[in-house]
Amino acid sequence: MIMSKEHQKGEVRKIQFSGKSSYMLALPKKWVEEMGLGAGDSVAVEKQGDSSLIVTPRVGKIASSRSEALIEVSSKNKTDSIVRQLISVYLLGYSTIQIKAREGSLTSAQRDAVKEATRRHLIGTEIIADSREGITLQVLLSYPELSVKNVLKRMFLISESMHRDSVRALSKNDKDAAAAVTKSDDEVDRFSLYAIRQLNMAVQSDFVLREIELKSRRDCLDYRLIIKSVERVADHASKVAEGVLRLEGQVSPQVLEKIVKMSEYAVGLFEEAGLALFKSDYQSADDVVEKAKAAEAMQAEILNAIGKGKGEETDRVLPLVVEDIRRTAEYAADIAEVVINMNTEGIVTTMEEGPLLKAA
């Protein structure tokens, strides 16, 4: 049975025999009260691989030790600092966050910064109280409504779209389309923060771990690495769009053709890495890692073609654009490597059964 560290250190329970075929184990009163349980409530009992048992409440909600947080600020606190505190508390998993003036009232700039940060960065969060003395936020979205896997799927889709739209804007020298891509980066960041919040809570709670459909705490680390890589792909797509906004001349058709080809190759690897993740496909992930090696040669070929230009501003921007595209391929490989690590057990056999690793 999994309990808090306090219970593990302080309580030992004896198994009792009841009737002809049943054994009983009394649950600690404090744990039952913390979980909001009572006589007649149901719990799920699940055997783990290490022979331990996990007891999980089956009620609709679970009591949380991190239900409410208070952030006190003074008139001297800078808005950026307040926003950083707000995001940190959100990531820790608090369901209610109050930003309150230590003395007097919040400044207009502070209140505006909190509202803007809530709108731009904190998924599932609403302002439920707003006054000059303070602002109270409530996280309303529950775990099953938007699981880590569902968040990641959306992040993959948005990042892929950003990459393709940015290169399409480059092809057509479309400044408006490029500007739209840079705005999409905020959406990926919002999903990233929400997913990290869920993972942080899952590390501390087996209940949350199962609610977001992860198998173990190790999964939390693996998904954290993948989320960061997807976020970086979106960042590089945004940088490509920023490069388009800086372009003053036309890109030669020969160079443009090579860039588009490399872009499709890189984003294709990114898509394959995502599919390998959601299908738990070791072989596909391994293929992505191998294919990503070709991106460096493609980059060198494009840089050589750009070097034959006239040294115009366009030729100074394009190498940075190509670098961002290559980084997309590299992050696809990073994701694939995590997927390989997550699914290695599927290709492992015991020494008695044969070789340590089956041929993929």
pTM value surpassing 0.85: no
- Residues 156/274, Cβ–Cβ less than 8 Å: yes
Q: Where in the chain is the domain with CATH 1.20.58.220?
A: 145-345
The confidence score (pLDDT) of residue 8 equals 46
The confidence score (pLDDT) of residue 309 equals 57
Nearby residues of 291 by Cβ (< 8 Å), 6 or more positions away: 269, 272
Residue 17 per-residue DSSP state = E
Host H or E run for residue 126: strand 125-130
Q: Where in the chain is the domain with CATH 3.30.110.20?
A: 68-139
> Phi, psi at residue 212, to the nearest 5°?
-95, 10
Residues with pLDDT less than 50, the chain: 1-8, 60-65, 350-351, 360
> Phi, psi at residue 298, to the nearest 5°?
-65, -40
The confidence score (pLDDT) of residue 164 equals 97
- Residues 314/250, Cβ–Cβ less than 8 Å: yes
Instruction: Say how far apart CA 299 and CA 162 lie, in whole Å.
Output: 20
The confidence score (pLDDT) of residue 294 equals 96
The confidence score (pLDDT) of residue 310 equals 57
Instruction: Say how far apart CA 239 and CA 64 lie, in whole Å.
Output: 40
By DSSP bridging, strand 96-101 and strand 68-73 are parallel
Alpha-carbon radius of gyration of the chain: 26
Host H or E run for residue 242: helix 217-246
Comparing C-alpha atoms, which of 269, 271, 263, 272 is closest to residue 321?
263
> Phi, psi at residue 100, to the nearest 5°?
-130, 140
The confidence score (pLDDT) of residue 18 equals 73
Q: Where in the chain is the domain with CATH 2.10.260?
A: 5-57
How crowded is residue 191: how many other Cβ atoms within 10 Å of its Cβ? 23
What sign does the CA torsion over 88, 93, 99, 103 have?
A: negative
What is the fold of 68-139?
Translation Initiation Factor IF3 (3.30.110)
Burial of 210 (0-12, 13-18, 19+ CB in 10 A): middle
What is the fold of 5-57?
Pemi-like Protein 1; Chain: D (2.10.260)
The confidence score (pLDDT) of residue 58 equals 60
Comparing C-alpha atoms, which of 58, 315, 25, 29 is closest to residue 211?
58
N-terminal to C-terminal alpha carbon distance within the chain: 37
Could you read off the pLDDT of 326-351 as tens digits, one per residue? 999 999 999 999 999 999 876 765 44
Instruction: Say how far apart CA 222 and CA 82 lie, in whole Å.
Output: 30
Instruction: Assign domain 145-345 to its CATH architecture.
Output: Up-down Bundle (1.20)
- Residues 265/272, Cβ–Cβ less than 8 Å: no
Amino acid code (one letter) for 182: T
